[in-house]
Amino acid sequence: MTKDRPKQPSNKGRTVVRSVAPALARAEPFTGGVFRIANRGFTDSDALLSGLGAMHHGGRWNAAGDYPVFYAALDLETAFAEKAHASRHYAIPPEQWLPAVIVLVQVTLTRVLDLTVPAAQNLLGLSSDAMVAERPAAAKRSSHELTRHAIARAARQAGIEALIVPSARRQGGKNLAVFLDNLGKSSRLLIVNPEDLPGHT
């Protein structure tokens, strides 16, 4: 079977990707707690941090089959908004994932690019609304990849460890997308109180 050729950026995407290079100078360390809402039956600490779900199924900032990405929210309200939308999108009834488990992950990263600040958005020529406006379903029917996927790929190839990005589910909310295969020696993702997760032995 012939493997599908990777999708290429649109003309707009190519323009934006060329703007990633000057934005890289704005990369900074990031340390803090981020949040994930886990299904009650999916609380294995290794699986929570693996990024394999995003790699296999795709995520807002990576295409399916690309590379492992860990997604989390910078605040609890955004984490709940993202989880509620995902459950509706995949038609998961509440009784299958509630009660849920709130997971706090302490993150230490050295090269993080914040795409929610005006300076970075001006360099890219994209607003927060534009970043979240593209629909994955439309991209599946197109020969071009999503612009945000092109941005993430270019940033990852340049050694960026993670992106801070606007949430599509909560106005003003922010998410963290971590390229797990790009982590430096001093970078860490650690679940807080993993011994208290359901099923921990």
40 part of a folded domain: no
- CA angle, residues 73, 74, 77, in degrees to nearest 5: 70
* Size of the chain in residues: 201
Domain presence at residue 39: no
Phi, psi torsion values for 63, nearest 5 degrees: -85, 155
| Contact between 71 and 177 (Cβ < 8 Å) | yes
- The residue range of the domain holding 120 is 45-193
What residues contact 51, with CB distance under 8 A and at least 6 apart?
Answer: 67, 68, 69, 70, 71, 178, 180
Alpha carbons 76 and 141: distance in angstroms, whole number: 34
Model confidence at 19, pLDDT cuts 50, 70, 90, reads confident
Please report whether residue 50 resides in a domain: yes
Answering whether pTM is above 0.95, one says no
Total of domains in the chain: 1
Question: What does pLDDT average to over the chain?
Answer: 86
pLDDT at 160: 95
Q: Is residue 37 part of a domain?
A: no
Q: Are strands 8-9 and 162-166 parallel, antiparallel or unpaired?
A: unpaired
Q: Is residue 7 part of a domain?
A: no
The residue among 85 and 2 whose pLDDT is bigger is 85
Q: Are 34 and 105 in contact (CB under 8 A)?
A: yes
pLDDT over threshold 70, residue 2: no
Give residue 9's pLDDT band: very low, low, confident or very high (50, 70, 90).
Answer: low
Asked if residue 10 belongs to a domain, the reply is: no
Region 17-44: what's the mean pLDDT?
87
